[in-house]
Amino acid sequence: MTATDRAIELTRAAAQAAVDKLGTDLIAYDVSDQLAITDVFLVVTASNERQVGSVVDGVEEALRDLDAKPVRREGDRQQRWVLLDYLDLVVHVQHTEERQFYALERLWRDCPEIDLDIDERR
């Protein structure tokens, strides 16, 4: 099984929104073969708590334009690692230190990477 076209569409829109808000080190994995609960994990780094919030807000706004709302949002209080669950897509926005410590890429590196097709010059 592979990620649905809708999941890929949401992932690319979320990735572009994250880059527009200065999110870095973006990577997306097609986890549909490994997990029954979602198709894609998108991981984004932000350099400080305020930027984590800004990236999260940007992603939510962009996906709202595509008629997608998160069914769950976790980690808002500390703004160190915020998880947005859109069912087909789970977005992880992590502070630099959390990204290094938890190293989600190490856990999911066997899953296919998704080409994000990001325009960083916007």
Q: List the CATH number of the domain containing 81.
A: 3.30.460.10
Residue 113 placed within a domain: no
Picking from 96, 52, 100, the residue whose alpha carbon sits closest to that of residue 75 is 52
Residue 118 placed within a domain: no
Strands 40-46 and 89-95: parallel
Residue 115 placed within a domain: no
Q: The tokens 């087909």 sit on which residue? A: 88
> What does the alpha-carbon distance between residue 3 and residue 88 come to, in Å, rounded to a whole number?
8
**pLDDT at res. 77:** 83
Query: pTM for the full model?
Result: 0.93
Residue 121 placed within a domain: no
Q: What φ, ψ does residue 17 adopt, rounded to 5°? A: -60, -40
Residue 120 placed within a domain: no
Structural domain range at position 96: 5-108
Q: Which two tokens stand for residue 35?
A: 């997990």
Residue 12 placed within a domain: yes
The pLDDT averaged over each successive group of 10 residues in the chain (122 residues) is 91 97 96 93 96 97 97 90 97 96 93 88 52
> How many domains does the structure of the chain reveal?
1
> What does the alpha-carbon distance between residue 57 and residue 35 come to, in Å, rounded to a whole number?
26
